[in-house]
Amino acid sequence: MSLAEIGHQMASIFLGGWDKTLETLIVIMLLDYMAGVVSAFRSKAVSSSIGYKGLVKKATIFTVIILAAQIDKMIDVENHVFRNCTALSFSINEALSILENIGESGIKLPEFIRASLLRLKQQAESEMDSSTGPHDKRSKSSRKEADDRKREQRDGNCRRESFYGDYL
Q: What is the DSSP string of the chain?
A: --HHHHHHHHHHHHHSS--HHHHHHHHHHHHHHHHHHHHHHHTT---HHHHHHHHHHHHHHHHHHHHHHHHHHHTT-TT-HHHHHHHHHHHHHHHHHHHHHHHHTT----HHHHHHHHHHHHHHHHHHHHHTGGG--S-HHHHHHHHHHHHHHHHHHH-HHHHHHHH-
Q: Provide mean pLDDT across the span 73-101.
A: 90
Residue pair 83/61 in contact by the 8 Å Cβ criterion: no
Is residue 100 exposed (0-12), middle (13-18) or buried (19+ Cβ within 10 Å)? buried
Residue of 14 and 113 predicted with greater confidence:
14
Look at residue 41 and tell me whether its pLDDT is greater than 60.
yes
Instruction: Provide the terminal-to-terminal Cα distance of the chain, rounded to the nearest Å.
Output: 50
Q: Provide mean pLDDT across the span 6-14.
A: 84
The predicted structure's pLDDT at residue 125: 76
Q: Quick: pLDDT tens for 102-116.
A: 887 778 778 888 788
pLDDT grade, residue 118 (50/70/90)? confident
Is the torsion defined by CA of 121, 158, 149, 57 positive or negative? positive
pLDDT grade, residue 46 (50/70/90)? confident
CA distance 122 to 127: 9
pLDDT grade, residue 135 (50/70/90)? very low
The predicted structure's pLDDT at residue 22: 94
pTM of the model: 0.66
The predicted structure's pLDDT at residue 56: 95
Average pLDDT across the chain, whole number: 79
Look at residue 57 and tell me whether its pLDDT is greater than 90.
yes
